[in-house]
Structure 1
Amino acid sequence: MFNRLINPIISYSFFLFGARGTGKTTFLTHFFRERNPFWINLLEPAEEDLFLRKPDELSARLENVRAGTWVVIDEVQKAPKLLNIVHHLIETKKLKFALTGSSARRLKQKGVNLLAGRAFTNYAFPLTHVELENAFSLIDVLQWGTLPKVFELTEPEARNAYLRSYSLNYVTTEIQAEQWVRKIEPFRKFLPIAAQMNGKILNYAKIAREVGVDTTTIISYFDILEDTLLGFRLDAFHESLRKRQTLKPKFYFFDLGLKRALEQTLTVPLLPQTFAFGSAFEHFVICEVMRLNAYYARDFSFSYLRTKDNVELDLIIDRPGRSRVFLEIKSSESVGREDSRSLDALTKGLDVKALLISRDPNRKKMGHVDCLHWQEGISEIFSS
């Protein structure tokens, strides 16, 4: 059991959102180990069917439960009308609820009661390097990702089988079962293409031609991946938030192992000093920063930059009340002037923090660019 950075406030009801396999149930089992909560698991077909037909069954089950008792409802989006009952029980019986789910936006789209501020929102992600501690291996993380189940499996063949099963059974079957898409085959065809486009500027029209659907459908497919917390878009930077909406975003899957499973490259070794290794390292760093921002509740916002001269910057981080970070990510074990030249020129004269992070263990200063090992760099981004 890893020490998770998930940190719900114990005196208040809360949601815990996250994709399947991120360890929500395991975390809550450990979190409530001394509190003996009343547990309802909607992943059990009989329970799901019962509460879909009779949401008032929840009130009947909790009739004799005393005030202050914790009630866990796993995958509450499977019976969303329960949230009206939950709201009532919070108000009348003073019960406290821990509610897990894989899509907050899906619940909102169904127009259900999200408890009007009576429950705080938390997120569960694949494991971070901070949580993994001594179990962290960069090569393994780039190869297999950090879904918790991966660390229970020691053989490459077992990890391969798990990730392939995850990508097939969850990403497609679950989405079909939830009726996110009308036709599953175009969506299946879309997924490996989306994985190949990971970290690249999205050309929706080109992807649409490859899949054989219209552009609007492709945009909806990426919306589905975001709604199910399987990935996130990274908008292009512009000082005007309105103009950011018109620029093409990038997309990143939430886990490196899932991305490699979808593009069927799990058996291909990731070798340092290759393009694939560099892309995976960039993906890893960006995912780490996104996850830690949520866990540390920093409210940072993120974008990438591509200039009219085609100079590209991996990440721009807006930190409320602090200097903006212009971040360049390199996978090299030794960085030099050539690696920092574009970032140095791009940020010259700007009141920003120019940061280059890499696998180089030596701290360096090149022009006004700080060059740090990636762990030190990520720590500095979040330091007070």
Structure 2
Amino acid sequence: TSHEIEDFDLLRYLNHGGLPAIYLSEEPQEDLAGYVSLYLKEEIQAESLTRNLPAFSTFLDAIALSNGEEINMESFASDCGVSPITVKNYLQILEDTLVGFSLPGFRKTKKRKAISRIKHYLFDVGVVNHLCQRGLIQSKSELFGKAFEQFLIQEVRACLDYQRTIVSLSYWRSTSQFEVDLILGQKLALEIKATSLVQDKHLKGLRALKEEGLIEKYAIVSLDEEERTTEDGIAIYPWKVFLKKMWDRKIV
């Protein structure tokens, strides 16, 4: 995690991920390629977790391309050339080996109907970048935004695990397209935006969810330089401030 890395470089992390040997490597792309080939594919086969390595490799590439997106099991399975049951089994392999994790849809809203599909993430943004052949991620690009979102979600998960805080994690999206990136039980609704100036347009999802009165606190994490709070009580955190408060147990 960023908490453990001295002189943490966000852009380096978003490009190469947080595996220590790769983050610190002078040849991170080559080392990532070796890691994905050796561990993610061969080790999983060696453990007899899947007998059909070509199908699993196709699935792994597809799940990387769908990283952080909602998954429709039927269409996703069709794209991979396997059955929906096989996709569920493969997802379970990723979770059992700590290579991936899922966020279910938060479905408790009454005023707006919620979508129930899961989102799936691989455990490391560098691995995602390699499998998707993204190339170099530049600041302020769309890929930077996606990687930044995954980075924050991973950090929250790691912090909660380390502190042994048991809280369910989910995301919310309504059928009318309001969305909140991460919900921590009933404690916190969190939006993540790679913008240097949070504006009202970035808060629409949080405000729509806030109308339901289901969550204690609402916040957005961004590239802003100053911490502040909106008139309706939504906290705006620079990402470094947010993570420090998380590790200091001042958020949850």
TM-score (norm. length: structure 1): 0.60
Pairing partner for 1:233 from 90, 102, 106: 102
Asked if 1:131 corresponds to 2:4, the answer is: yes
**Superposed CA offset, 1:320-356 (max 9, x none):** xxx6101000011121222123312321362520101
Quick one: distance in 1 between partners of 2:229 and 2:200? 10
- Of the candidates 346, 356, 378, which is equivalent to residue 220 of structure 2? 356
**1:150 Cα deviation from its structure 2 partner:** 1.4
Partner in structure 1 of residue 157 of structure 2: 290
Compute the displacement of 1:275 (Å). Answer: 1.5
SS of 1:248 mapped into structure 2: coil
For residues 136-168 of structure 1, the C-alpha deviation after alignment (integer angstroms, 9 at most, x for no partner) is 1000000000101014412xxx21111011111
Give the Cα–Cα distance (whole angstroms) in 2 for the partners of residues 147 and 325 of structure 1. 28
Structure with higher RCO (Cα < 8 A, 6+ apart): 2
Tell me what 1:204 maps to: 73
- Equivalent position of 1:324 in the other structure: 187
Structure 1 regions of 5+ residues with no counterpart? 1-127, 241-245
Q: Partner of 2:241 in structure 1?
A: 376
| Residue type at the aligned position of 2:157 | M
In the aligned structure 1, how far is the partner of 2:133 from the partner of 2:202? 31
Q: Which residue of 1 aligns with 2:47?
A: 178
Is 1:221 aligned to 2:90, yes or no? yes
Identity, % of aligned positions: 32
Q: 2:125 aligns with which of 256, 266, 271?
A: 256
User: 1:20-169 to 2 correspondence within 5 Å?
Assistant: 128-134=1-7, 136-154=8-26, 158-169=27-38
Cα distance in 2 for residues equivalent to 1:327 and 1:314: 6
Match of 2:112? Answer: none
Residue correspondences, number: 242
CA distance in 2, matches of 1:272, 1:354: 26
Instruction: Decide whether aligned partners of structure 1 residues 314 and 133 sit closer, same or farther in structure 2, where only a CA change above 3 A counts.
Output: same
**SS class of match (1:198):** coil
Q: TM-score, normalised by structure 2?
A: 0.90
Report the secondary structure of 1:180's partner residue.
Answer: coil
Query: Which stretch of structure 1 is more off in the superposition, 355-364 or 370-379?
Result: 370-379
Contact 2:178–2:204 under 8 Å retained in 1? no
Q: Which residue of 2 aligns with 1:276?
A: 143
- Give 1:288 shift: 0.4
Query: Which amino acid letter does the alignment assign opposite residue 21 of structure 2?
Result: K
Pair 1:348–1:133, CA change in 2 (3 A) = farther
Aligned partners of 1:270, 1:177: CA distance in 2, in Å? 33
Q: Which AA in structure 2 matches 1:195?
A: A
State the structure with more CA Rg.
1
Are 1:309 and 2:176 an aligned pair? yes
CA shift at 1:239, angstroms?
3.8
Task: Find the residue that maps to 1:133 and give its secondary structure.
Answer: coil
Which SS does the other structure have where 2:6 is aligned? helix
State the Cα deviation string for residues 256-307 of structure 1 (Å, max 9, x = none).
Answer: 1111112222xx2212222211110000000000011111111122100111
Over residues 91-147 of structure 1, what are the superposed CA-to-partner deviations in whole Å (9 max), with x where a residue is unaligned? xxxxxxxxxxxxxxxxxxxxxxxxxxxxxxxxxxxxx1110132x100000000010
Cα contact 1:344–1:368 (8 A) shared by 2: no
Question: Are residues 372 and 152 of structure 1, via their aligned partners in 2, closer, same or farther at CA, if it must alter by over 3 Å?
Answer: closer
